[in-house]
Amino acid sequence: MGRNVRVAVATLNQWAMDFQGNLERILLSIGIAALNGASYRTGPELEVSAYSCEDHFHEPDTYLHCWEVLLEVVQSSSKNGMLIDVGMPVQHRNVAYNCRVAFYNGRLVLIRPKMIMCDDGNYRETRWFSPWTKERQTEDYQLPRFVAVALGQETVPIGDAVIATLDTCLGYEICEELWNPRSKHIDMSLAGVEIIVNGSGSYMQLRKAHITTDLIRNASYKAGGAYLFSNLRGCDGQRVYFNGCSAVALNGAIIARGRQFALNEVEVTVTSFDLQDVRAYRGALRSRSSLAASAPTYPRVQLALELASSDRDMSWPSSPVGEWQYHRPEEEIALGPACWLWDYLRRSGQGGFFLPLSGGVDSSSTAVIVCSMCRLVVEAFERGDRQVRDDCRKILGDPEYVPASASELCGRLLFTCYMGTENSSRETRQRAATLAAQLGSTHLDIGIDGAVGALLAIFQRATGMRPQFRAAGGCARQNLALQNIQARTRMVLAYLFAQLMLWVRQRPGGLLVLGSANVDEALRGYMTKYDCSSADVNPIGGISKVDLRRFLAYAQTEFGLPVVAEIVAAPPTAELEPLVDGAIAQTDEEDMGLTYQELSEFGRLRKQAFCGPFSMFCKLATAVAEDGTTRDPREVADRVKHFFRCYAINRHKMTVLTPSYHAESYSPDDNRFDHRPFLYRANWTWQFRSIDEELERLAKKQPPRPDADDEQERPVQVDAGGGATTSAGASNVASEPLFFANSGAGGGVGMSSAASAHQLVHQSSGLFLAGAGGAGGSDGPGQLTVGLTKSHSSGGYGRMHSSVMGKIKDRTGVPV
């Protein structure tokens, strides 16, 4: 006869320090598990306090309140006959641990501390917790007095142990222990543990979802047995969005899974499996059985419980759910930041969003993400989600509100404003208005020349001088100051309108100001300090321009937004310098001296491959040589040097970067993800000299190459991924890949660590070309054709851009 075990893994959207709300969500998940006949329920990491309490983990109050919550959970579930564990911080002998706490029928069974801490990426666990280092050892934990009195229990085992029921054995590894090379599930499985449980706090990153799934599947495939993975989901008060994807794997197959993105706060995934399947699978792995015969044992906490009790319903067979369908990056951008924004909005107590909408790719992407959020809210209403309904009505101050459509809801939650000047073009003004109409946002079109003129008049009265644009004879400093005053005026007005627009509409509260600077511009420092990049939150601050263009192409068809085609096709421009005959004379890529495609590749090499200026040049120069392109290594050197000069001069801006949704592995976020100085020697004397010496060595080995700038200009096609091709398919600077031939059309970069930097370079090059050959035609959805001269395309780089003066949007500076 089979021995079916019915288990439940909970996905919870917890909130740091919200003990009442966290308690309610934990109790709801236990209730759902019990209603579905589960004999065991597990949840995510640190679910009692929430994961992102950070330095609150140093406060004794945090531990006190966690024990108070745990006591309520234990007492409320003392008669449901279910084995339960929750994640919470525990102090033992004056040392803080990140723990799983297991209990059954009103009695604590085991406290299992985390044994391997995570300190990379956004994680800083050893700042607050210590790892349990006593392998296969336990100690007695003295319960707090109020807990001991209430439960009639003085102590509970704490340490590296497993739970032995009457019919199986269950053990824990916590989050990072799955990712570590010495994962604990290997030793536990060899010691006879049949059910491995992992409570996790894993956050979302573009193209990362498959990693967790592969680890879970492979853990159960190699060791045999059941692997239960429970993860947090949502924004619990920080920049990250926890990734969901809770799952159950059996012998290498995923048999149940939860969603990655959702607005509901509690999701419980329930499934069953047969213990005999575990034993048969392991018995057939002869090499594993030989190792297990001599494996050391774990301390076992004996529990008089049958997880597969014979009086339970035996009608739930286990079966694989089929191949896991991962979201494409465009879908991850549509869903992840939208859910993050909803969590932030409903928990901030504000009444909506205010967005300066320029009609460009970045601000349009932010607006479309809010539209996606509204679509998710309407879908939740239709499913009868009470929490979403109540939150939405509270935000709008309308206790009877029911959305008629996503567009109607967008009109109540999103206020957009085009802040034009004499340097703004008719095209961007029209695109902004059209997009707002298609989204349904409440839109304003204002001119800010009066405010800018008033500020310049103050300066003129104080100094007797008035700055001029470069086109009127001004120097670089004057030109830059005149651009920055426009940008900063927009920020001041954005906050004024955000505070008062709901007053105008006779609604309570205020609006959150949304930022719309992408990760590449932050990396390069191509933003004015305290302009519209300064906001309350930024949903696209961790996303590259290339991915944003693809996302908009996806949204064009998925959300029905025809104007997006024009937005993606237009060359990115700040529109801060005077127009020439009514046409745009300034483009972002010309201003930066680098293309967005190049910035993405430089960003990955700098962060993922840990490259400084010299090693970045060497890897790119090697790739150029191996791929047989006509690129001159001197050009590669110029661009690498230009990037690092601008990066060094502008790094100070990262100290005030708007809190952004974390999505990209090369984010320059100074708050915690990318810890580096913000004051550099900008000419990198030693490093750049090393590059020059390497250039001399290469020059002796290679014949001179023709200069790509000698080729004539041709109209180009721009696709949604940011790649450019000539209309005739001929090769020039704009149409070639950045440094080397395309290694695979449409390929994504799924690397979260350095791995092979050369492989990283090759993979990233495939991101930016739409067709297999990267030339000609409109080969796919969202691929847009526009006639641009090379100065408007990614080929508009010249020697003049090596000068930092006037190209950094804030400080001009001089070499040090």
State the DSSP H helix or E strand holding residue 733, giving kind and residue range, or none if neither: none
The two three-digit tokens of residue 644, written as one number: 């690092």
* Residue recorded with tokens 């084995």: 83
**Which listed residue (114, 208, 641, 653) is catalytic?**
114
**Which listed residue (29, 39, 45, 790) is catalytic?**
45
User: Between helices 406-413 and 386-396, what is the axis angle to 10°?
Assistant: 40
Assess contact for 333 and 369: CB atoms under 8 A: yes
**55: which DSSP letter?**
G
Assess contact for 99 and 89: CB atoms under 8 A: yes
Degrees to nearest 5, angle at CA 345 with 668 and 509: 125
d(CA 44, CA 253): 21
Q: Look up 202 and say whether it is catalytic.
A: no
**Which listed residue (53, 99, 169, 175) is catalytic?**
175
d(CA 802, CA 594): 10
CA distances from 312 to 31, 256, 308, 309, 615 (A): 17, 20, 7, 6, 62
Q: Look up 222 and say whether it is catalytic.
A: no
Assess contact for 38 and 81: CB atoms under 8 A: no
Which residue from 249, 279, 226, 191 is spatially nearest to 2, judged by alpha carbons?
279
Instruction: Name the 3-class secondary structure at 206.
Output: coil
d(CA 54, CA 237): 10
State the DSSP H helix or E strand holding residue 7, giving kind and residue range, or none if neither: strand 4-12
249 pairs with which residues across the strands?
227, 254
CA distances from 274 to 193, 225, 315, 397, 665 (A): 15, 10, 11, 51, 40
Q: Which residues touch 390 (CB under 8 Å, ≥6 apart)?
A: none
The two three-digit tokens of residue 286, written as one number: 């002869």
Q: Look up 358 and say whether it is catalytic.
A: yes
d(CA 631, CA 498): 49
d(CA 130, CA 150): 29
198 pairs with which residues across the strands?
229
Assess contact for 576 and 586: CB atoms under 8 A: yes
Q: List for the chain the helix, strand, coil content (%; round to 5).
A: 40, 15, 40
Alpha helices by DSSP H, 736-797: 757-765
**Which listed residue (358, 365, 665, 794) is catalytic?**
358
Q: How far is CA 224 from the centre of its chain?
A: 32
Backbone torsions φ then ψ of 787, nearest 5 degrees:
-80, 105
CA distances from 115 to 199, 537, 723 (A): 13, 35, 46
Torsion, CA 341, CA 347, CA 352, CA 357, rounded to 10 = -30
Backbone torsions φ then ψ of 216, nearest 5 degrees:
-65, -50
d(CA 416, CA 436): 7
- Identity of residue 18: D
Q: Which residues are catalytically annotated?
A: 45, 114, 175, 358
